[in-house]
Amino acid sequence: MELLTPALGLFFWTLVVFLIIIFMLKKLAWKPILKAIKDREDSIEEALKSAEKARSEMSQLQSGIAEAKKEAAAERDRIMKEATEMKNNILDQAKKDAQNEARRIVDDARDAILKEKAAAMADIQSQVASLSLEIAEKVLAKKFENKGEQEALVQEYLKTVSL
């Protein structure tokens, strides 16, 4: 039973050694271990703060990117609208120019046709006049007393004359 109930001296020295080990652990081991744990806790807390800061910066960047996309889309739409308007203006101007040129060509052709027509009419008038003179000369050259013979002669000459 001696083993179950330790002697008072053994109990005292065991208690002294235990207290010395606790004191040494407190001085040598607990402070560095607690310091390492505190440093680790601080670094984890700092990392969490950095991650939160990075997350907020990322959300700001994403909103900035979304805003930049909206602005780029608006700018693209504005440029496309201007390009479409410019294209329509160019097409309208080209149509107007083509219509004006077509009118000018038609007017020039009409003027040329009228000039040719006037020239042809003048030529026909001069031919009719010369034919009339020829017929009159031939009629006068031959004196007829019979009016029917004169008309037959005029008709015969008219058949032989070509325009």
pLDDT single digits (tens) 74-117: 999 999 999 999 999 999 999 999 999 999 999 999 999 999 99
The residue-averaged pLDDT of 2-13 equals 76
pLDDT at 2: 61
Identity of the residue numbered 8: L
Predicted confidence (pLDDT) per residue in 41-56, tens digit: 999 999 999 999 999 9
pLDDT at 131: 81
What are the CA-CA distances from residue 29 to residues 35, 50, 112, 129 (Å)? Answer: 10, 31, 120, 145
pLDDT at 145: 61
pLDDT at 139: 64
pLDDT at 136: 73
The residue-averaged pLDDT of 61-65 equals 91
State the pLDDT confidence band at 70, using cuts at 50, 70 and 90. Answer: very high
Q: What is the pTM of this model?
A: 0.42
